[in-house]
Amino acid sequence: MAAVLLLGASSAQGLTLQPVGNFDLPTYVTADPANPNRIYVVEREGRIVRVENGVRTTFADLESEVGCCAQEQGLLSVAFAPDFGPSGGRLYVFYTGTDEPGEIHVGELTASGSTAPLASLRDVLTIPHPEHLNHYGGQLQFGPDGYLYVSTGDGGGPDDFHHNAQDPNSLLGKILRIDPRKNGLQPYTVPAGNPYLGQVGKRAEIWSLGLRNPFRFSFDRLGGGMTIGDVGQSAREEIDLAPALGPATVGGAGANYGWNCREGLLAGPATDPQCGAFPAPNFVDPVFDYSHAPDPDSGMPRCSVIGGYVAADPGLGALYGSYVYSDYCSGTVRALRLPAPGGAAGQECSLDLQVDNPVSFGEDSQRRLYVVEEGGTVSRLAGAPPADCPPPQPGPLPEVLPSLSPTFVGIQAQRRRVERGKTAVLTVWVSPCRDRKGDLVALLRNGRRNGSKFLSRACTAHFLRRVHRGTTFAAVTHQEDAYQPGESRPLKIRIAPRRRAQR
């Protein structure tokens, strides 16, 4: 099947959906962080298709491992590691296995060159999902802190009668946070800062809980917040927001979004004692919810929210900074002004775009937005939104930016363990290096800015920092000339025991 080339768009053009092509049961679309000309389309039966300059190739084929396609089963998303480069690297897949009714699997693939062979598949995390064929969740995203976030559904069936979403000893009905790299015999590690780390009877992998089916969530490239589209039951669909706490950090640690004690802003179906009185003060309200009444603009029925992305492509005009989402049944693409921390969501409106059974949105390394239709079509949003949607945001709109190359930021220490009170010697490097001499790189210490330096001709910078306790460092760059901002993975410096003096 011939692929359709991506078409350019003028910002003066009305908002349109420009076709990328038709695929077999597509579920998700994302991009290679090191190559703005490549996108990857996930097909439900187990394939990942790479599209580069209109040419398609099969990048990975996992059909023998993926249980498909009863109800909500299949290969549901993929996330590339931040340091994935031109020669390959690690990527992670979310799929249901071949066991009945299908366990949740998060697997690691290692790509070498242009393919990620099945032989490289490593099982990182397996979550039992007995009895029901729905509510798997399905999203993987690397956060601005460099860790992998995973969304899981409550296990399926009505009312969460297995009580998974509110149970801190269950990985279902949650957002999870892990470092997915193998650590000795451990298939992954749990980062410091996870809210239940070290607590008896609570799973350390949990980042937030109280979710029914968070099929899609995303991180805001502009503000860093996590936005979750949580599919409701029979009354309300909801959008949840965990604002960022600062550069290279993620909010929402320990947040409880309320299911099954409540559904959206309404009392939920549960009568469990832990739900308490309604409203309960320990639940985080959604920033927006809506009923299953017909879409107010198209008149189509609504049933399941399909969470999207905050538009960070300046070429989309006034849509810049608005959250773009849809509903599986209505297919109307809509925009929402997300609130500032502590505030209420702004106006919500239709973008005058209609798609058939959307199952996902996606974003590429140039911040362009895509929408995936269950029937096979993948399209890119281009042009400007309707004049009255969304309402103007405060301040001027950004200028349309040229294509920006991704930035990789690395950080290493001369020693990963130092004695208390001694100095850690840190080296930061940035790639690509062309014309980067004199660019600024900032050091973060436990998530807080801890000084900055200019890059050398070799695109490196050195920091000396005295440490008195276990400390996490990271490095970040800002947008410079033709390069996107970049963030390193966190680097943990531990305290080594003091040497005994020799007698």
- Whether the Cβ atoms of residue 121 and residue 131 lie closer than 8 Å to each other: no
Share of the chain above pLDDT 70, in %: 91
Mean pLDDT of the chain: 89
- Whether the Cβ atoms of residue 160 and residue 259 lie closer than 8 Å to each other: yes
State the average pLDDT over residues 150-161: 95
State the average pLDDT over residues 305-326: 94
- Whether the Cβ atoms of residue 156 and residue 133 lie closer than 8 Å to each other: yes
Cross-strand partners of 362:
370
Instruction: For each of the domains in the chain, give its residue range(s) and CATH number, in order of start.
Output: 16-382 (2.120.10.30), 408-496 (2.60.40.10)
pLDDT in tens, 431-458: 888 888 888 888 988 877 788 888 998 9
The region, left, alpha or beta by phi > 0 then psi within -120 to 50, assigned to residue 60 is beta
6 has pLDDT over 60: no
User: How far is the C-alpha of 390 from the C-alpha of 322, rounded, in Å?
Assistant: 7
Beta strand 491-496 with 417-419: parallel, antiparallel or unpaired?
Answer: parallel
What pLDDT is stored for residue 112 in this prediction? 84
What pLDDT is stored for residue 403 in this prediction? 57
User: How far is the C-alpha of 22 from the C-alpha of 3, rounded, in Å?
Assistant: 8
Highest mean pLDDT among 14-23, 266-275, 280-289: 14-23
Lowest mean pLDDT among 164-173, 315-324, 336-345: 336-345
- How many degrees, rounded to 5, is the angle at CA 43 between CA 39 and CA 45? 155
Tokens of 3: 């692929």
Nearest to 76 by CA among 45, 118, 100: 45
1 has pLDDT over 70: no
User: How far is the C-alpha of 99 from the C-alpha of 133, rounded, in Å?
Assistant: 11
- Whether the Cβ atoms of residue 284 and residue 255 lie closer than 8 Å to each other: yes
- Going through 285-382 in order, the beta strands assigned E by DSSP cover 288-291, 305-310, 323-327, 332-336, 348-354, 358-363, 369-373, 377-382
328 has pLDDT over 80: yes
Of residues 342 and 268, which shows the higher confidence score? 268
User: How far is the C-alpha of 31 from the C-alpha of 140, rounded, in Å?
Assistant: 13
4 has pLDDT over 70: no
Which runs of consecutive H residues, i.e. helices, occur in 76-123? none
236 has pLDDT over 80: yes
pLDDT band at residue 342 using 50, 70 and 90 as cut-offs? low
Give kind and range of the element (H or E) at residue 265. Answer: none
Lowest mean pLDDT among 24-38, 254-268, 319-333: 24-38
**Tokens 């099945």 belong to residue:** 118
- Whether the Cβ atoms of residue 318 and residue 385 lie closer than 8 Å to each other: yes
State the average pLDDT over residues 159-176: 95
60 has pLDDT over 80: yes
Lowest mean pLDDT among 221-230, 338-347, 459-468: 338-347
User: How far is the C-alpha of 242 from the C-alpha of 227, rounded, in Å?
Assistant: 6
Nearest to 437 by CA among 468, 408, 459: 459
What pLDDT is stored for residue 7 in this prediction? 33
State the average pLDDT over residues 391-404: 55
pLDDT band at residue 487 using 50, 70 and 90 as cut-offs? confident
pLDDT band at residue 187 using 50, 70 and 90 as cut-offs? very high
